[in-house]
């Protein structure tokens, strides 16, 4: 039997003021990664989609209790969004206490969203394994600059070499084994406090084309499908 349109579908079709995409995320760091990605000039060209509207206040929200909250209660946040946004992205880390694993997290949230009225294909659940910091790491001088890692101050070593010297990112590894620890140690060495604006700065400057993380690629694939170039 053909699915009958929901009232929210009709609102989206008839109201030109309905926005493009809403992002439910686990924390402020994720919000600022999105801000850095989507406010950079020509971001859509790097992703391979057409431009779409993104406003941090209108198009994103962080969960009150972070990753476990999204895992258990995503639909508490996303119900009203069906009438205001055409698409939804839910972002969560795999690494949290009592995590059942990335596949189980994605399946549960997806099932909950469908039961609450979201159409399959209108949303994407992005489970980052193990955690957000893995998106930031790539061998790129823009990363050194964004983290204010000046090789002239650190024995003329690049950030990559400095991390390898400390067994935090070994030669031959695509990413650090513990991306959060490598991130924190780098900031400590550069005498920088941890803040969400650092995530924004890195996301605004590093190459999108060189990010090979599966969760990031899933996000980009979803955006290309919803907003074809």
Q: What integer is the mean pLDDT of 208-214?
A: 83
Task: Give domain 7-133+206-224's CATH number out of 1.10.3470, 3.40.50, 3.40.1360, 3.40.1000.
Answer: 3.40.1360
Cβ contact 135:206 at 8 Å: no
Nearest CA among 40, 78, 44 for reference residue 59:
78
Q: Tell me the pLDDT tens digit for each residue of 136-146.
A: 898 888 888 88
Enter the pTM of the model. 0.88
Q: Tell me the pLDDT tens digit for each residue of 7-29.
A: 344 444 445 579 999 999 999 99
Q: Over 70: is that where the pLDDT of 102 sits?
A: yes
Burial of residue 7 (CB within 10 Å: 0-12, 13-18, 19+) is exposed
Question: Where in the chain are the domains?
Answer: 7-133+206-224, 141-194
48/176 Cα distance (integer angstroms)? 27
Q: For position 9, what pLDDT does the model report?
A: 44
Torsion, Cα of 55, 216, 133, 37 (10° steps): -30
50/209 Cα distance (integer angstroms)? 16
């Amino acid at each position: 039997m053909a699915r009958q349109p929901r009232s929210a579908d009709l609102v989206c079709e008839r109201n030109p003021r309905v926005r493009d995409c809403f992002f439910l995320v686990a924390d402020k760091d994720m919000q600022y990664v999105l801000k850095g990605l989507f406010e950079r000039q020509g971001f859509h060209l790097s992703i391979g989609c057409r431009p779409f509207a993104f406003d941090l206040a209108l198009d994103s929200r962080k969960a009150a209790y972070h990753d476990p909250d999204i895992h258990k209660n995503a639909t508490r946040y996303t119900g009203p969004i069906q009438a205001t946004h055409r698409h939804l992205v839910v972002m969560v880390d795999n690494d949290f206490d009592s995590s059942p694993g990335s596949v189980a997290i994605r399946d549960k949230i997806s099932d909950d969203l469908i039961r609450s009225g979201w159409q399959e294909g209108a949303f994407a659940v992005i489970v980052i394994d193990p955690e957000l910091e893995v998106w930031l790491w790539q061998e790129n001088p823009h990363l050194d600059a964004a983290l204010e890692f000046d090789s002239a101050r650190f024995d003329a070593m690049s950030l990559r070499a400095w991390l390898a010297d400390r067994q935090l990112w070994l030669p031959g590894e695509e990413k650090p084994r513990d991306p959060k620890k490598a991130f924190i140690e780098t900031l400590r060495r550069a005498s920088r406090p941890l803040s969400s604006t650092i995530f924004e700065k890195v996301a605004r400057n590093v190459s999108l084309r060189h990010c090979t993380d599966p969760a990031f690629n899933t996000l980009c694939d979803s955006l290309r499908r919803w907003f074809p170039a």
